Amino acid sequence: MVLDGAALPDDRRQAVAAEFGFSETTFTGPPSHPTAGDVRVRIHTPLLELPFAGHPTLGTAVAVAAERALPGGSVLTLELGVGGVPVELDADGGGGWMRQPVPTVAVWPADRHGALLAALGLDPSVVVAPVERYDNGVPHAFVVVSSPDVVAGCTPDLGALGAVAPGCGVSVCAITGETAAVTRMFHPSAGVAEDAATGSAAGPLALHLLRHGLLSPGRELAIDQGAAIGRPSRLLARVEGLPDAVAAVAVGGRAVIVGTGELRL
């Protein structure tokens, strides 16, 4: 996160994000209007700006709360490209829950189904649910497979994947328990070969599993990600309502401030 960096020119923010090389870098600043939120946040991958992302939203909320010495349990509304996203901090301020936009859902195009699986290096026989595309500000496609071993062994061709799913993250997931899943997320067209934690995909994943009978209504889903790249993470997601009548999608997690510094531009 770059404090007070939202007002930097677009090309300077993008250059900073590319230099850092993280999946996302956030830049904060005053809200565009007093009713828009408590802080404005711009989010960049190494290649482009995103209107929404999940784990950097949680992390930025925790960091802003610490910088402002807000008490645990506070609610911060972050002004993102998709609008205001409220984050309710945990009692100790070290994490929280965000209320995400409810995603739209579309079936993955039949004429690109085989190419998608081929780009992921997956045999069609291991896919156990329809492949669908969800969009809550960032599009994500979900490929649910038969076991965690299949997820761990996935070897995508990133060039082919970027061509068959331009502008779209692709998650390969498996159920590991009644309320648990493991996932890997690839988004080469955004400059992210593999992400350690993808909050923008966590809520849609819970909805996807709920819609296809793989998660019971009202249950909180624990999502493990990042182990394949040595950066294990856990996100929590829940869907309020029913598959055909979603009231809200929420994603939670923890964040740790590991360092601070000064950036001279």
Q: What's the angle, vertex CA 59, arms to CA 53 and CA 64, rounded to 5?
A: 115
Block residue for tokens 């990133």:
158
Cα distance between residue 5 and residue 208, in whole Å: 35
User: Helix crossing, 55-67 with 199-211: angle to 10°?
Assistant: 130
Q: Which of 24, 79, 132, 194 is catalytic?
A: 24
**181, β-bridge pairs:** 175, 223
- Spatial neighbors of 185 by CB under 8 A, at least 6 apart, are 140, 169, 170, 171, 194, 195, 198, 201, 225
The yes-or-no answer on residue 194 being catalytic is no
Show which residues are catalytic. Answer: 24
